[in-house]
Amino acid sequence: MKLLHIDSSVLAANSVSRQLTARIVAQWQATHPGTEVQYLDLADQAPAHLSGEILGAQFTAAETHNELQKAELAQTEAYLQQFLAADVVVVGAPMYNFSVPSQLKAWIDRLAQSGRTFKYTAEGPVGLAGGKTVIVASSRGGVYSSQAMSALDHQEAYLTTVFNFFGITDVRFVRAEGVNMGEQKKAEAMADAERNIVALAA
């Protein structure tokens, strides 16, 4: 079994989502001995955001590509192969301004390749990357799971949508929210997340 461990928080050791992904991976390895883990730090090695030059290279002949386009296409292919080879993907996804870090979005933009992770048919789009388990470590400074604040959630909702679009229906969330609402609230959130980690990594 192959597990891809991804972090995207820019807060290094102060990151709640990084603490959660580390615990999820450790718990998964404990319950699934022999799991092979690959690690990708999207904050430390951030993918370039798509540009007209990078995106255009996907639709032009290889012999016309400049050095930047060659390098970026190679990087995209590396991300795709790593993602497609994984049986389990653990994604650290803190909420930044109601959504995900731009580094994480840039990585997802590289994966969204017609013919690789999805295809269009007469009946509509079909995901091609099914059969995986995705576990998202979701950290939030406030509380957005309540009905009053749920309309502001463009983090978990987006990740569910995009992974479903890729054909992945087993998307699980370990959530720690309210972590900026005082030490007691943070401690309660982390304790709840720990209980969920044990359950979801089974």
Handedness of CA 112, 115, 117, 118 (dihedral sign): positive
**Residue 130 marked in a binding site:** no
| Whether this model's pTM surpasses 0.75 | yes
Please give the pLDDT value at position 31: 95
Pick the CATH number of 2-200 from 3.40.50.360, 3.90.470.20, 3.40.50.1440, 2.170.190.11: 3.40.50.360
**Residue 114 marked in a binding site:** no
**Residue 66 marked in a binding site:** no
Please give the pLDDT value at position 70: 96
**Residue 96 marked in a binding site:** yes
Please give the pLDDT value at position 4: 98
**Residue 141 marked in a binding site:** yes
**Residue 142 marked in a binding site:** yes
Positions of the chain with pLDDT lower than 50, given as ranges: none
Q: What is the pLDDT of residues 42-71, one digit of tens each?
A: 999 999 999 999 999 989 999 999 999 999
Exposed, middle or buried by CB within 10 Å (0-12, 13-18, 19+), for 102?
middle
Please give the pLDDT value at position 43: 97
User: What is the domain partition of the chain in residue ranges?
Assistant: 2-200
Please give the pLDDT value at position 146: 82
